[in-house]
Amino acid sequence: MQQGETMETTITVRLPKPVYRRLNQQAKIFNRPLDDIVVQTIKRSLPLWHDTIPPDFEKELAQMNALSLAQLQKIAKSKLPADQQRKLDRLLEKNSEGTITVNELAVLDAVQFEANSLMLRKAKALALLHRMGFPLPLPNRKRNKST
């Protein structure tokens, strides 16, 4: 638990045996209690939420209200750099396989935070563009030639 988190709730969860084995394996590798590994895994899978967003980032999002149309469009179209995306994919795979190291977990946290931050910037830019009357982009779909 992080500082400031004082309340705990106990729940019972039925896990498939392969999931339990992987969690247990990680607990042994990192020499940590299984409960800690389960909580860490759940936290890692949750999206950023208001109480986890740093104040500086909240300020950055608020300042987006003053950006130009071109700036908002650029943010809305932005993507995680290819090398960062590859790193994220590789570390997520290692984490799901239970082969990730402690140092790699720290890198995964940082890269995931960057990816989630980008997603929030893009969402804010799209919301502002929509408020200005621009239609939200539709997902690119390959059309069937027969339709």
For residue 6, which amino acid is it? T
**Dist CA 124 CA 1 (whole Å):** 30
Average pLDDT, stretch 88-97? 90
Share of the chain above pLDDT 70, in %: 84
- In this prediction the pTM is 0.62
pLDDT for the residue numbered 102 = 83
Average pLDDT, stretch 131-137? 81
pLDDT tier, 139 (very low <50, low <70, confident <90, very high otherwise): very low
Q: Confirm if 84 and 115 have CB atoms less than 8 A apart.
A: yes
For the cut 90, the answer to whether the pLDDT of residue 106 exceeds it is no
Q: For residue 9, what are its two tokens?
A: 């709730």
For the cut 60, the answer to whether the pLDDT of residue 143 exceeds it is no
Kindly report, residue by residue over 25-49, the tens digit of the pLDDT.
888 888 889 998 898 888 777 665 6
* Long-range CB contact pairs, 17-21, < 8 A, 24+: none
Minimum mean pLDDT range among 53-57, 89-93, 103-107: 53-57
Minimum mean pLDDT range among 47-56, 60-69, 95-104, 124-133: 47-56
Domain boundaries, the chain: 14-46, 51-131
